[in-house]
Every structure is written in structure tokens, then in C-alpha cells.
Structure 1
């Protein structure tokens, strides 16, 4: 839900609540006013009758000069004054109608009488209903007009904010030019744009510094490692070396190789996290996977492993060529390294999933830790613990859900993707 929609809904809800409360309050006040007016008219007519009797001594013969509904009945005193509401059936309108009636006693020269004055209430009820409908209609029109004005005004006021968001969405860490926001006359949005400009400029500078440091560090580390490896290769060929010396030199060569692989993997991870692989192209994943399996098959056979593959042809995927190469190599390499004698490897590719399964011992780490850097599910020394971290980072880059689980002696990694 957008900010404008949320604000407009809140405004509309507030208006409707105010309209309901105001309508009920107005109707109640109108009812009280008309109710009091009816009672006051009856009391006024009573006073007129009493003034006439006090002046003349008898009841008036022409009642219509005082009230349109008045009659008197001779009775015995005393008669208390009573005012109440009643309903009477109208033969004209064929329904029961509401009235208010006032009864009181009065002494005349001709005797004691009970005077009854009646006033119709249904007329005021109709007036109240008409006024209520008029108020409701006018209020709805007013709320609709205010709703429209508020919506248009909100769109106009918040337009610089949404323009700022659209500009911010285009921001890339690797871009050379700073973000350029459209100018606005609203002080708060000016402050927001100024702070965003400072923040993105600082991010770009930090990114460039990190990128330069990573590349330089990788280069500076790779050169001495290559020199060490070269010298060790020469040293191991020297004559008159003892068995113990050969073993130590072999361990050093293996350690240097692991350091070189770790350096390369960390550099690759950093580049992926920094979004440096943006040139995705449509690739034939089926053909690439088949080629990789052909390259890895001799190693798989040498280790005495059975290979089962089921590859759906013409599965195409939008991804960077180097990253898909790293992805497949790490998945196949893990299936080979973490296997068991006379084990098996299964490769399945469908239009929506890539599944690699292999036999092997149960991992020594919890499943959720296997994706972390330098986490090893076994005690092998030839693994630097970055293979699955690379796979996970590549999957996250392209929003491919990936999962791992171990069951019945089988490791299973499943990668899901959307086909373009």
C-alpha cells in the first residue's frame, strides 16, 4: 500500500467517523429542540385558556383561536396536570400517528372542567427525517469533495518524494556519477535529498576503496604464493631428500595451494557481493551442465563412483557465464570430495530445478551452518570451506531458492530458478 493510499484511507475513515458522530449528534439535538418546542406550545396554549377563563369566567367557545385540537369535559376536582405521548389511528392516512397531549383541570363559572390539548408529532418526525436526509446527502457530497481535494493535494505534495525514490532505485554502487535529484521547494524533501546524496556518495567511495583494496590485496597475495609454490616445486626435485623432508615439502605445497584457492574464492565472493557481475546473458544450462559433467567424469570414474544423470534438454537461464561456471564446478566438486568409496552421484536438471545428490557420511555441522564461510561438513584438509558459500551467494544474487538436506546417506542440494 502506497503512502498516499494509506493517508487517503485514513482521511476518509476519519471523515466517515466524524460524519457519523456529527449526524447522530445533530439528529439528537434536533429531536430535543422539536420535542421541547411541542411541549412549550402545549403549555402556552394552556396559559391562553387560563387567561381567557380568568378574564371571562367561562371556557372559550371558539377553540380554533387557541388550538386546532382542544376539548373540555366536566368533572370533579382536582385534576392533575398530565403531559404524555400517545398514538391514534388516522382514518385518513390509514395508520397510527404520534401525538402529545396535555390534560389539566380548571374552574369556571359553569363548573369544573378537564381541558385536553393535543398536538401532532408526526409532522415534526417527517421534518426531522427530511432534515436528516438533507444533512446526510450534503455531508456525503462534502466528504467526497474533501476526499478528492485531499487526494489530489497529497499527490502533488508527495510527488517530489516519489521522484526521489525513483531516482534512488537507479543507484548502483559501481556507478561513477553521483545521484542527481530533481529540485523541490519543500524544505523537508530538500533535507532528505541532501542527506541521501551525502550517503550515496560515501557508499560509492567506500565501495571503490574496498574494491581497490580487495583487488590489490589479492594480487599482492597471489604473487608471493606463486613464488613460494614455484620454489617448493624446485625444492622437491632436489636430490638427497629424506622421506620426512619430502613429506614436509608436500604438505607445504598443499597448504600453499589451499591458500591460493582461498584467496581466489574470497576475491570472487567479494566481487559477487559488490554486484560486479551484472552482465547476465541467456545460456543453455543443459549444454553447459553436460560439458561440465564430461570434464569431471574422469575424476569421478577414477574415484570409483557411479554417475547417474538426467538432463532435460534446452533449459535456458539468464545468468553471468563466469558465475554459472563457478556454480556448477563447486556443486560437482562438493559431490566428488564429500563422497564415499563405491559411492554415487546423481545429477537431475528440469525446467525449474537443478538437483545434485551424492552419497557420503553425515555432515558434522548443522545444516544452516553449511552455507557459511569456512564451514566444513567434514574433516577434509583439501577443502577451504568456501564452496557452498559461493554457491549460496550466486543463488542469492539471482534470487534462486536453494536448499540442502541429508537423508538415508544421501546429500541433496536443490537449486530452483525461473526460466526466462
Structure 2
């Protein structure tokens, strides 16, 4: 028999949890299984999950095929009905060692169903903690899960539950272990990262956690994944201004550039809030770069609404865009709103991506001749503090931070 094969779809948090599942399945002695950790962020993500399951079944006709993740949590019936699937487990179960022990001990072959409301309880935090994953240079640490907010387009809270936080002491201890193992960069991850601490005694904020990590550990580089800028606290702004080990790159959950659409999305910020945050952060840290999530074609979006999103890319000087063509998720309020024509959605998404490519090209050109400290992910490729890829002509020590002068750029990478 062979060790289970894992396929991860979706976000970094899913990737983190896949590593935990690998560890639990190995400890349980599970063999001969294929596990798909799904994403539910869009209907396209669910479609791709079904497509991937069918492909994996064709390639592994005799394996037991297990489906888990957010799509399995929000619509278990979809996957339980697939003849290729042997078991469906929810987000709570996948982080429970007993689940993997049970599968290893007695895999009956009968598809197991989970209830849609069977979500990780509020008393649990990040579930099974692991000592990092990814390259030998960068590790990801899950510090938060779930979301208390209910944006009208988002299905994720139904798959992840309410927000809950990993205590700061646990996070610090984990990062200390990662540093001892040689990791030079740690990335803090979560579903709604800026809500970290709200459920903990004293209600600390994300900035408090960041400052504590930097004070109590020797981690060379600390990076923050996607944040909601309207929730950024004073301590985090202080860290941006004073802590050089906090990387000058922030990915913002902006979603749109028009105030009316933001209200219909039930977002907590307005256009001017986003612009003001970016301007303040860049005053504090001039080398800061920004990425952002933006949805194209949200219900009721007119061309004028969309143009505000396009202008926001320029006004916020956004370098790295994640563009999402809107797709309705059953059960969300936005799915019941008047929908935008699919051809218009596709066209607007393409225009946003083109704007993003222009911003990337401008950023790359501005780096030529500059010196950067690059974290090497493999012998020929690393990333700057702003998370820009750098390609080297000669081998560099993997996992090390090296100094380099940028000589040019090719595609979406710098050349050193």
C-alpha cells in the first residue's frame, strides 16, 4: 500500500491544513487514499473541485477518494452524490486526528455525509498546529480561522464558522520552533486575519500579536497575509512604521472601488477609507507595496461602478491584483440580486487584469538598479521584501537571504 495522496485547492489556509492532514494520516497509518481539500470561494472553484475529483479517480481507480474542505462543508450533497467519491468529511472532522484513525481502521467504502451546520466550534482555534510548510525558506502559521462578518457575496463563513484565534503564546512558541529549524520567513495566515484576538481575554489586536512576535522571537522576516484595512489597529501601524522585520507588502481585501457596490456587498469600508489607509501606510513605510482582491461584475454593477474599481487600482497604487469574476453562491444575499451579464463580467475582469499587469510592469521597471535583500526559495529564484520574484543567473544558497542588485526584468520577474 502507499501513503495518501493530497490535492489542495484554494487558499493558503487550505494548504496549511493539508499539511496537518498529511501528518495526522501518517500517524494514523492511513494508506491507499486520495484526499481532495476543496475551496468554495466561487462557483467556479466548486466546478474545478468536481473536475479534479473526476481526474483523480481516473488516475487512481482503486484508491479510496476522500473529499473535504470548504466546498465539502457548504454543499456536502454535491460531492456525496458523485460516484467517484468514497467519503465526505467537513472542516471540523478533517482537523481531528480521530477522523484519520477511523478511516485507517475501517474504511467501509460507504460515502459519509456531514451536516452543513457541522462547523468547527467556537472553542476550537486552529485545530492541529504544524511546524510550517512550503519551501525550506518560508513557513505559514495559521493564527485565526472563521469569520464573524457576512459579506453578501461570501459563502466562506458557512464553511469556516465564526472567528476564533490561536492564543499569542501558542503562536510565539510555534514561530520559535520554526526559527530553530532554519526558516527565515514566517507568514501569518487566517480567514479574517485582522479579527485576530477579539475572542481572547482582553481582546488583543493583530498589531499586538505582531509586536509580540517581533519582540519575543528572532524571526528574520515576518509577513502578513490578506487583511481588511478598515480593521487595522494602531499597534499594527506602529509595526509598519518601526519594524523592519515586518515585510513591506500588504494584501488588502478591498473587493470594489465604488461606495454603492461596497454597501451592497456589506463591506465595512468605503472607497476613501481604502485610499486613506494606503496613503498613511506608505507615508510610514515608503517602500510598501500593495496587492488587493477585487470582484468584477458584482450584481447591479454598472459601467460607472466598474470604472471606480479601475481608478482605485491607480489611486491606491496597487501592484498585485487578484481579480475575481463574480459568480453567485447559492444561499448568499448577492445571489438574489439582479445579476450582470456574463459577457460583461468577463470583459470587466479582463480589463482589471490588464490594469494589474500594467502596474506590475511599472513596479518591475522601477526596481532596475536597486539593491534588494532576496529570500531564496530555490537556487535560482527568490523574493524581495515586497514579495516580487527575482531570477538569478547563478545558483544561490536555498533558504538564505542574499543581497542582490536588480539588472532587469522578464515577464513578471526581476532579474539579478
Structure number with greater Rg is 1
Q: Same fold (TM over 0.5)?
A: no
TM-score, scaled to structure 1: 0.22
Q: TM-score, normalised by structure 2?
A: 0.22
